[in-house]
Amino acid sequence: MIMKKYLIYLLIVTTVVACKKDKSAFDKGADDRINEQLKSYQSTITGSTNGWTATLVTRLGNTYSFYFRFNESNRVFMYCDLDSTTAGVQKESSYRLKSLQQPCLLFDTYSYIHLIADPDPRVNGGYPGAGMLSDFEFMIDTVTTDSIKLTGRFNGSSAVLRKASAQDRAAWENKQVRNNLVGLSNLGKILNYFKRLTYNGTEYEIQINTILKTAIITWKDASGTTHTITTPYYISATGIQFTIPVVNGSTTITGFTITGFNATTNTIQVKVNNTDATIAGAIRPVNPDVQAGRRWWQWGATAQSYWFSPNGFHVDGVDDAFNVKSLKTDSATYYYFTYWPGIQSSSGSFDALVPFYFFPTQNALDWLYGTAPKASFQSDGRVIFTLLGDLNADPYPTTGPAFKTKDQLFITNGYWFVQTSETTFDMVSAKDAKTWISWRNQ
């Protein structure tokens, strides 16, 4: 009996102590604790006098640099290296800190950060309905006095904000970052498709994709071994910054700064690791992909589908140099040029170069004329096209944009093929690399 009373007494004491512990652990309600945390985060982001520099990495891997300055009235002032306007004109919009299962930073009115996520491909060159797979609502992962790490709520993009110095702020407000971005456009003054950075005795072939914000860099090391890396890049106060550095033996390249253009030599002056270097044009790749042309052709033959190009040929710095977009008939307008490899027919297989037209009354694409090339694959990687004859349809034009496109295809030097993504190839004239066409299959 005494033992039973003792056990009951212990149970009561334990229950009381447990209740006291529970009460002390939750001396404030969940809402109060969340509000305190959000208030602390608000104090941090608004407390940086010179704002924050940031890098945003989308789900595609594209990297963008930003500058943000937040105030206590839920307004944010920003710049972004998307283009010369976003890098040079400050944008004001609104933001909120809100708990959505966890603390979040929301950019809740349309701003530069929304441009990257915009589902309209005309805005950012991204995918229809998805843009660049970026975000404008972010979960707050960690906050310190000088950095904030975020993860996008929808696409999982990542962003890191770092407390800005007065110099960081001035680099954006005084247009230093914008000027570096504009300087990158000097690459277009070199008319050759292939461009080589000469630094420390080595030539590095550089392909810059300003839409996807990636750089493909190819070089041969001292032993003659070829190396290629693909790295996202962004623009900073010091120039073009590679996310993945180029490492060639004891040489490391993290980016470069464009300092000028020499019209006499047709070269761009740059600094790499604070050392003078140059970028010049070349008429062939450092290391030709000898199978690229075959892969391009074989995809169409296997899929029984075609490659298309809305713009046609780029020549001497001019997009759509032959003005194919002006093609039209009484009832249709030009849509795109196509190359269809290995079409199967009862009389055998053949290739076809065909412009397609859009017929609005039928709401359909159709073709009127075309020509039949033969692709010959060279051991050095070039593809040379020869004319077998025109297709049995309307007569192929003997003047104008369609004729010029056909005539260009059959140059005797042939073409280098460069695979730029899983679904795109560039076909570059082996004559001087100043003429090329970009093919897509979706």
What CATH number does residue 218 fall under?
2.40.128
* Residue 410 forms part of a structural domain: yes
Q: Is the pLDDT of residue 391 over 80?
A: yes
- Are 163 and 140 part of one and the same domain? yes
333 and 404 together in one domain: yes
**Angstrom distance (rounded) from CA 117 to CA 107:** 12
Q: Is the pLDDT of residue 10 over 90?
A: no
Verify that 310 and 363 share a domain, yes or no. yes
Q: Please say whether the dihedral angle defined by the alpha carbons of residues 297, 303, 305 and 311, taken in this order, is positive or negative.
A: negative
Q: Are residues 272 and 306 in the same domain?
A: no
Residue 346 DSSP one-character state: T
C-beta neighbour count of 49 within 10 angstroms: 11
The range of the structural domain enclosing residue 81 comes to 38-174
pLDDT, one tens digit per residue, over 291-300 is 999 999 999 9
Six-digit token pair at 255?
């980016």
Same domain for 87 and 123?
Answer: yes
When pLDDT is cut at 50, 70 and 90, the band that residue 121 belongs to is: confident
Q: Residues 228-280: pLDDT tens digits?
A: 999 999 999 999 999 999 999 999 999 999 999 998 998 999 999 999 999 99
- Residues 309 and 436 grouped into a single domain: yes
Identify whether residues 307 and 426 lie together within a single domain.
yes
311 and 373 share one domain: yes
Does residue 12 belong to any structural domain of this protein? no
22 part of a folded domain? no
Q: Once rounded to an integer, what is the mean pLDDT over residues 308-320?
A: 96
Contact 306, 425 (CB under 8 A): no
SS (H, E, C) 95-120: EEEEECCCEEEEECCCCHHHHHHCCC
Query: What percentage of the chain has pLDDT greater than the value 90?
Result: 85
Tens of pLDDT, residues 198-217:
999 999 999 998 888 999 99
Are residues 110 and 47 located together in one domain of the fold?
yes
SS3 327: coil
Q: 137-143 and 103-107 as β-strands: parallel, antiparallel, unpaired?
A: antiparallel
Distance CA 128, CA 73 (A): 35
Distance CA 253, CA 207 (A): 15
What is the pLDDT confidence band of residue 122, given thresholds at 50, 70 and 90?
confident
Q: Are residues 139 and 237 both part of a single domain?
A: no
Domains in the chain: how many in total? 3
The answer to whether the CB of 87 falls within 8 A of the CB of 81 is yes
Q: Is residue 26 part of a domain?
A: no
pLDDT of 35: 85
| Domain contains 25 | no
**What's the CA angle centered on 25, arms 20 and 26, to 5 degrees?**
100
Go through the chain and tell me how many residues it has: 442
Shared domain for 296 and 410, answered yes or no, is yes
In the prediction, which pLDDT does 246 show? 98
Give the pLDDT band (50/70/90) at residue 33: confident
Q: Last residue of a domain, which of 263, 282, 301?
A: 282
| Strand, helix or coil for residue 123 | helix
Q: Which of 223, 254, 282 is the last residue of a domain?
A: 282
At residue 6, does pLDDT exceed 60? Answer: no
d(CA 127, CA 390): 36
> Does this model's pTM top 0.85?
no
Does residue 436 contact residue 207 with C-beta atoms inside 8 Å? no
Residues 6 or more apart whose Cβ sits within 8 Å of residue 1: none
CA–CA separation, 11 vs 48, rounded Å? Answer: 54
Secondary structure (3-state) at 78 = strand
Mean pLDDT of the chain: 92
Answer with the one of 282, 312, 341 that is the final residue of a domain.
Answer: 282
In the chain, % helix, strand, coil (3-state, to 5) comes to: 25, 45, 35
Domain membership of residue 27 (yes or no) is: no
Is 3 within a domain? no
Domain assignment present for residue 20? The answer is no
Based on the domain organization, do 313 and 398 belong to the same domain? yes
How far CA 263 is from CA of 20, 181, 267, in Å, comes to: 81, 20, 7
Q: Are 196 and 204 in contact (CB under 8 A)?
A: yes
